[in-house]
Structure 1
Amino acid sequence: MPTYKECRPGDVVHLPLQEPAEDSIIWRKLNPNGSEQPWNHPAVIIGKIEEDGKQCLRIRLCTSFGGRRIDKCKEPRHRNFYVLVDNKQDNTTHNSTRLTTLAPGSDKFTRRTYVNLSYGSEYFIEYKYLESWGPKLIQLDAESTQRIIDCRSS
């Protein structure tokens, strides 16, 4: 895992299954009834902030839909909320969307993975609660990262 200082927008990190402490800033956004389950997903860093002396990252969640293609699990009207990331399995895009490309030298997701651009997929969380996603860094290129940042919804 890169240090906080080394983390850049476009880097992919892991929001682990282990939930953060009750005072984490992520709980400000999560539904207290527990209907949201962001845990154990990769996430793209889209910003960095310091809040109350804590090193925090703004992230957007990624999903592989359990290995299914988006057209098999999402209605057409919802598919535009997801962009496909360059990966080792299948780079066929949907609804004429562009493929989210990677920085030179970046690793790739092993399976089809999408960045979720919907309203509820953006979170702030302390850096200390995140982990590396895989043995080698996956990083989106600058243009793809900026397109995701421009979709900012919160």
Structure 2
Amino acid sequence: MTKRAYKYRFYPTAEQAELLAKTFGCVRLVYNTLLSWRTDAFHKEQQKIGYSAASAYLTVLKKQPELAFLNEVSCVPLQQSLRHQQTAFKNFFKGRARYPAFKKKRNHQSAEFTASAFNYRDGELFLAKSSEPLNIRWSRALPSAPSTITVSKDAAGRYFVSCLC
């Protein structure tokens, strides 16, 4: 059976919008910090850093007092950003893509949640560290419980959730 994504628009509460803004910012910060670290290691020491070393460095980052706010959001989107970065590097080294670019605050922002970071029950979707369900405009019912969701915000400030079923 193949997986299919269903995209819906949703309207977050003020609390959810704040949590999502923090999550988007933390995902971007982690991605850019680790990209800088990996780039320096490659140019200075000719060393390729894998996913496990990057994940260990993320743990070090989260323990630093000036980056303690990384613990306020779910750890799953942060780990997913490392997986996306690892895929970007793999594609670069195989000649299929350009060197990974730094993420920008403008335009499109997104965070990916795996099944351990959200809860889907009775047609309601709850994100990790959020007490209320997302106010989603369901245009059709999902055929099954989603395995992964991606929450995104476009340049116009609209929020969308893409459910991979």
TM-score, L = length of structure 1: 0.27
Structure number with higher helix proportion = 2
TM-score, L = length of structure 2: 0.26
Instruction: Tell me which structure has the larger Cα radius of gyration.
Output: 2
Q: Which has the higher contact order (CA 8 A, sep 6+)?
A: 2
